[in-house]
Amino acid sequence: MVKTEEGVFLVITDVCGKGVSAALLASILQGMIYSQIVAKVPLAEIVGNSNRFLCEKAVGEKYATVMVGRLRPDGEFEFVNCGHVPPVLVSGNKAQRIEESNLPVGLLPDATYAPGRRKLIPGDRLVLVTDGVTEAENSAGDFFGDERLELAATASNGFDEIFNSVRSFCGDKPLNDDCTVVELTYRG
């Protein structure tokens, strides 16, 4: 998260692959996105610039899913989802998936990216996860999935409930991917 006079910025990425090359790509993306946020570059341009850079440099020939959003003090949430797991907006006791999405960064140099918007009211929560959460498997090979994520996210202790639900669902089966959860509550 990055806080500026324009609001709070959320960024979550998931790099294809593992190891040193994936870690380098994540680090490069973090620096590129942060520097553009503080330079007040529009969100769609931030991911477009990051995409072109990755495509031109062929950094380990990898790509990444990215979700970058800005929550303004008035509750306006602007976001660009680049192939990432759709965020969950929890309002009251209802969970809604924010489905607008674009291509991941690093795949096509001429890809264009369109932002989406939502108006949040005090008490609304945004929950962002990596696919390690929704694709966590139990011993039968079933995925944790979107429905279980939405149910866990609506709990009053959403963040902890998500991790507890994933652990309970997987049982003794070890996770095969990173599980990252970012939760932001809009207070108004």
Q: In the prediction, which pLDDT does 56 show?
A: 84
Q: Give the amino acid at 159.
A: F
**Residues in Cβ contact with 179 at an 8 Å cutoff, skipping those fewer than 6 apart:** 129, 130, 132, 133, 136, 163, 166
pTM for the whole structure? 0.88
State pLDDT tens for residues 20-76.
877 888 888 889 999 999 999 999 999 999 999 888 876 556 789 999 999 999 999
Angstrom distance (rounded) from CA 133 to CA 148: 10
Q: Which of 133, 78, 81, 130 is nearest to 105 (CA)?
A: 81
What tokens appear for 85 in the block?
A: 């797991």
CB atoms within 10 A of CB 41: 15
Radius of gyration of the chain (CA): 17
The single-letter DSSP state of residue 58 is T
Q: How much is the pLDDT for 59?
A: 57
**pLDDT tens digit sequence for 104-121:** 999 999 999 999 999 999
What percent helix, strand, coil does the chain show, rounded to 5? 35, 30, 40
Per cent of the chain over pLDDT 70 is 97
Distance CA(101)–CA(120), nearest Å, equals 19
